[in-house]
Amino acid sequence: MKETNVKPANGKLGVLVVGLGAVTSTFMTGVLMARKGLAKPVGSMTQYDKIRVGKGADKKYLKYNEIAPIADLNDIVFGAWDVYPANAYESAINAEVLKEKDINPVKDELEAIKPMKAAFDHNYAKRLDGDNVKDVKDRWDMTEQIREDIRNFKKETGVDRVVVLWAASTEVYVPVDEKIHGTLEALEAAMKADDKEHIAPSMCYAYAALSEGCPFIMGAPNTTVDIPAMWELSEKTGMPIAGKDFKTGQTLVKSGFAPIIGTRCLGLSGWFSTNILGNRDGLVLDEPANFRTKEVSKLSTLESILVPEEQPDLYTDYYHKVRINYYPPRNDNKEGWDNIDIFGWMGYPMQIKINFLCRDSILAAPLCLDLVLLSDLAARAGRHGIQRFLSFFLKSPMHDYTKGEVPVNHLFQQYVMLKNAIREMGGYEADEEID
């Protein structure tokens, strides 16, 4: 490894996850099993991917931890908050994602992960009815209690660093209000005034994490860190933020397949996406106000890959629709259907059908691992504010819309951003261009 000014990954890394449902319990079980050599962390870029560093005679392909000092799986210590009191073992069994035989070898470690009381507002997720919930006076008190949880977790576990990851349900849609979300001062005033309409519980988690010197990752499509006030806080505290919404099934397909249409200069008439999903996520998204949050995140992908202004003949009037249907029999086994109407030579129509029978939590777990390890790396490298290089893992990449910035949704361009950031943090030249 080259000499860099990135601080080494000394000591233990605390991973505090908001939500101890299917995704989180699958993530935790997989890491604990991989540590024992009983499972493979398949799908994780930090564990498998190799990046070229150097050119010509100096060219070599190295794994991420050979380029930059990434925390070891053995150094991770888990904690969580959840509205339900079930421990991580009970949660993993209840989720029915993994077979019992793949959970039992780490049963003792999972049972020890008991969720702290969640900072929760029923109005933001009406379908959830847990009672493991904090008693709070107002939004400011909610934030202070989360901060105390983080401090206690550090004290009790002796971890050196903490990353906070939101893997809980999608909240109802909170439109950005410049008066409240525009500056840190206004945001803090709204929290103290207990403005429940504009301050979602997830914002309290993000504020608490950043204030306690922890990177924060938004794994749902919530507005949480997509506001200038949070960017200001992350700059002030010198902490990285990343979001939003894990890119697991359909959007992964879309961000990888849309470039085929664009690269081949084929036209697009319409793209209809529908999903059936039966887990807790599906239940929450069955509420129209919560689905609205998800819809905004899912719809944003195509428009920055197949751009009408750049190719008016090909992409001017395409119709893009996204649907999610709650269907309990499927549980975590999500089915994504994409029906794509394209046209080619002389405008003749063709169709593409993609049917992705995926397992939501199996795809999300490695994203959780990569986001946590890379956010921790970014913090030690002194990177703060929006971490655009992590957009590879996320559906709706954060960007500074106040300056008219367009997010990069193209999977292979995102991959270049990811590789360049790892190179830089490893002391190598960021030598690939995004074309």
Tens digit of each residue's pLDDT (9 = 90 or more) over 119-170: 999 999 998 899 999 999 999 999 999 999 999 999 999 999 999 999 999 9
- Secondary element (H or E) of residue 91: helix 88-95
Cβ-contact 396, 297 below 8 angstroms = yes
Q: Is the pLDDT of residue 23 over 90?
A: yes
CA distances from 28 to 98, 104, 109, 372, 388 (A): 12, 13, 10, 12, 26
Q: What is the mean pLDDT of residues 172-195?
A: 97
Cβ-contact 384, 394 below 8 angstroms = no
Q: What is the mean pLDDT of residues 42-48?
A: 98
Which residue type does 113 have? Answer: I
| Banded pLDDT at 301 (limits 50, 70, 90) | confident
Q: Phi-psi bin for 369: left (phi > 0), alpha (psi -120 to 50), beta?
A: alpha
In this structure, CATH architecture of domain 13-246+362-425: 3-Layer(aba) Sandwich (3.40)
Domains in the chain: boundaries: 13-246+362-425, 250-359
pLDDT at 114: 98
Q: What is the mean pLDDT of residues 371-385?
A: 98
250-359: CATH number:
3.30.360.10
C-beta neighbour count of 137 within 10 angstroms? 10
pLDDT at 215: 98
Cβ-contact 276, 358 below 8 angstroms = no
Cβ-contact 304, 414 below 8 angstroms = no
Q: Could you tell me whether strands 240-243 and 385-386 are parallel, antiparallel, or unpaired per DSSP bridges?
A: parallel
Instruction: Give this prediction's pTM.
Output: 0.95
Q: What is the mean pLDDT of residues 329-342?
A: 92
C-beta neighbour count of 276 within 10 angstroms? 18
| Banded pLDDT at 42 (limits 50, 70, 90) | very high
Tokens of 370: 């990569």
pLDDT at 284: 81
Q: Whole-angstrom Cα distance, residue 100 to residue 367? A: 23
414-423: pLDDT as tens digits? 999 999 999 9
279-290: pLDDT as tens digits? 777 788 778 888
For residue 231, the SS3 value is helix
Sequence-separated contacts (24+) of 181-184 with Cβ below 8 Å: 181/223, 181/227, 181/228, 181/229, 182/227, 182/228, 182/229, 183/228, 183/229, 183/232, 184/229, 184/232, 184/233, 184/236
pLDDT at 165: 98
Q: Among the listed ranges 200-204, 240-244, 292-296, which one has the minimum average pLDDT value?
A: 292-296
Give the rounded percent of residues in the chain with a pLDDT score beyond 90. 87
Going through 201-348 in order, the beta strands assigned E by DSSP cover 216-218, 240-243, 267-277, 319-326, 333-343
pLDDT at 300: 75
Q: Whole-angstrom Cα distance, residue 384 to residue 367? A: 20
pLDDT at 204: 98
Question: What single string gives the DSSP state of each residue in 299-318?
Answer: HHHHHTTS-TTT-HHHHSS-
394-404: pLDDT as tens digits? 999 999 999 99
Q: Whole-angstrom Cα distance, residue 167 to residue 28? A: 12
Tokens of 139: 């939004």
